[in-house]
Chain A
Amino acid sequence: MATEPKAAARPLSPFMLGQYYRFQLTSVLSFLHRLTGLALALGSVFLAAWLLSAAAGPQAYARFETCARGPLGLVLLLGWSWALMYHLCNGIRHLVWDAGWAFELKNVYRGGWIVVGVSLLLTAAVWTVAAL
């Protein structure tokens, strides 16, 4: 009888990321689309809490505001605003692909960098408007 075959030590997902798998803009933006989508889904719980606390009256709203205005609340809000802008911009990129456009590798990369730039610009614009 032949000897038992040894299990090859192959890299397993996701531990191959960065070691055997070289990141590219395209794959990173694809991960980010999912991750920001999930983050926004979690953020919508806070959105509902914000509106429901307002509907419950000024006392309930004041309690919500105390939590939201803390440093953690501000960091989450900053993250939420960028996640929304990124998911929105990359979503438009997906809609363009759905229409059958910009599938050439050059345009896939160009669109990717545009999404990164515009999402950061829009986030900066929102916080600038809020600070004015």
Chain B
Amino acid sequence: MKLRSPLSQARGLGSAKDGVGHWWLQRLTALALIPLSLWFVFSVARYRVADYATLVAWMHNPYAAIALALWLIALFWHSALGVQVVIEDYVANEALRFGGVILEKFAHFALGVGSVFAVLKLAFGVA
């Protein structure tokens, strides 16, 4: 016996009214994060970016600045999606669950925008 209406099947949005949007974006950002994360970690290790002058010089390279901004966007997006699932899985109280998801989304977007702004400021800075 089929309990789904033809309309709901055609829409393909499921009970959460979200369809596969969350699932797909989690995979899409994961795919982007594979090369970008490896590039970031090995670049920082190779060029000793921890030093202030080196970091500033590194960010003056437009390719590095663009790649770092792309990595940060993918990272905070992927993290916002992932932490949401963890909260939805383990927080039974509805008010806490909603509050938690709202809070983690705001935190991820604030940190993401802050980090990308920092990259742009370093990239366009005169020093």
C-alpha gap A129/B49 in the complex (Å) = 12
Interface residue? A76 (CB, 8 A): no
Chain B contact residues: over half helix, strand or loop, or mixed? helix
Residues of A within 8 A of B122 (CB): 51, 54-55
| Closest chain B residue, CB of each to CB of A34 | B86
Residues of A within 8 A of B66 (CB): none
Q: Interface size on A (CB < 8 Å)? A: 33
C-alpha gap A47/B50 in the complex (Å) = 12
Chain A contact residues: over half helix, strand or loop, or mixed? helix
Residues of B within 8 A of A91 (CB): 30, 33-34
**Chain A proximity of B32: nearest CB distance (Å):** 11
**Contact partner of B34 among A34, A38, A92, CB < 8 A?**
A92
Q: A41-B83, A44-B76 are in contact. Are A51 and B118 (CB under 8 A)?
A: yes
A4-12, A20-28, A58-66, A104-112: which lies at the B interface? A58-66
Residues of B within 8 A of A120 (CB): none
C-alpha gap A41/B81 in the complex (Å) = 11
C-alpha gap A47/B41 in the complex (Å) = 12
A48, A65, A68, A95: most-surrounded residue (chain B CB, <10 A)? A48
**Chain A proximity of B43: nearest CB distance (Å):** 10
Residues of B within 8 A of A47 (CB): 72, 75, 115
What 1/0 flags go to B33-68 for Cβ under 8 Å of A? Answer: 110011001101110101010011000000000000
Residues of B within 8 A of A129 (CB): 42, 45-46
Judge whether B52 and A62 touch: CB under 8 Å: yes
Judge whether B82 and A52 touch: CB under 8 Å: no
C-alpha gap A84/B41 in the complex (Å) = 9
Interface residue? B117 (CB, 8 A): yes
Residues of B within 8 A of A127 (CB): 45
Residues of A within 8 A of B27 (CB): 95, 98
Write the residues of chain B forming the contact surface with A, with a CB cutoff of 8 angstroms.
27, 30-31, 33-34, 37-38, 41-42, 44-46, 48, 50, 52, 55-56, 72, 75-76, 79, 82-83, 86, 108, 111-112, 114-115, 117-119, 121-122, 125
